[in-house]
Structure 1
Amino acid sequence: MYAVFKRELFSLLNSLMAYITIGIFLLVSGLLLWFFPDTSVLEYGYAELTGFFSLAPFLFMFLIPAVTMRSFAEERREGTYVLLATRPVTDWQIVLAKYFACLILLLFALIPTLIYYFTVSQLALPKGNIDAGAVIGSYIGLLLLGAAFTGIGIFASSITKNQVIAFAVAAFLCFIAYIGFDALSQLFSLSYFENVFQSLSVNEHYQSISRGVLDTRDLVYFISFILVFLGAARLVIGGRKW
């Protein structure tokens, strides 16, 4: 499994698309956080990163599908997946190796954003007057959200040979998971289904963790969410092997 993981990670790091995608993510998040009046921290006047953590999930809907779209789609299009499938590794090991490689790249994209925390803490009056617990909780929530979206991206890449289709399917599923269930809960407000759809919403659990409180239910939800999509990807590639 480690060999497949290393191969996939080096392949991502040698891909120009990965650097372009991460660069666009950092550029857009920086512009939204510091320059655009409606979302700027300087205009808001409070030493907090709420704006960044509210906007980042929508950027993830495009960043993560762009990173994961080539995982299986390119292997199948070029015919190299046949060679990978003949190696002494299980389907689960292949899926997990590709998943963790994409997750490491996502972590590389998030690390530079820590400068936002340092900058805002220096701008605060007095210096360092920022809710560190809420920021840490928000980063944990953002990482879990990214892990969930990565699972969706791996699944979308496993069902097609076309990277563009994999990107579109992943972006659509991420949007539905983040926004769709919230919309359905509002549609069925004041009924039993409102709580059901809210409990299924990724946004609901992300906001819960972003408050700085790690609830076991939220962790179980994200882990289950990830396993469902990785399990679906494993079934797809396993079925194709047969």
Structure 2
Amino acid sequence: MYWNEQYVYDGEKTLPVVLRNYTEADFEGMIRIQRECFPPPFPQELLWNEAQLRNHITLFPEGAICASVDGKLAGSITGLRTTFDPAFPEHRWEDVTDDGYIRTHNPDGETLYIVDISVSPQFRKLGLGKLLMQAMYQTVIELKLERLLGGGRMPGYQQVADEMTPESYIKRVTAGELRDPVISFLLSCGRKPIHIVPNYLDDEESLNYGVLMEWKNPFR
């Protein structure tokens, strides 16, 4: 099981952070954080419910990690194991993740697939998103998997969709010419875009596109 204690800086002040596997006692706080992170127009039916969270800690507890700051729940990241064929990359989030219930989890899968990452707005700019992602990289290494993979939303695309294709948008974001709230964050975490998937997720801001972002296990 996962447990990691460290500090983050809030200005000049240091705050203690614990990254650990989440439990049933965290469910209420995690549902609250998702509401804070994904307000409408994001589809509210896609936010966590207790049945989904219970499956996470039952089917793949290694992929259920949260962060607390000074004892207060601040964010979480969730994954499952799956198989992935780079020759056939297109899929929908709901199919791979079983609509977030992760009954599709394959204990023999070589890929750790990110289902969700959420950090409460009041704790952003502390670097918690990167710490959560690093915890999953460590899980990939510990389990001797080939890669971490997941589809990133591209919420900035809606604003420029009349001017460029999704491929052009991601190329410019990757080059640093544009900034996207999600894709730029994933790039800063070491993830690499490998494929743009249409109809990945019902997401008005991304025009339903998702970008498959990969991190390969450097020890494989």
TM-score, normalised relative to structure 2 = 0.26
Q: TM-score by structure 1 length?
A: 0.24
> With CA pairs under 8 Å and 6+ residues apart, which has the higher RCO, 1 or 2?
1
The structure that is helix-richer by fraction is 1
Higher strand share: 2
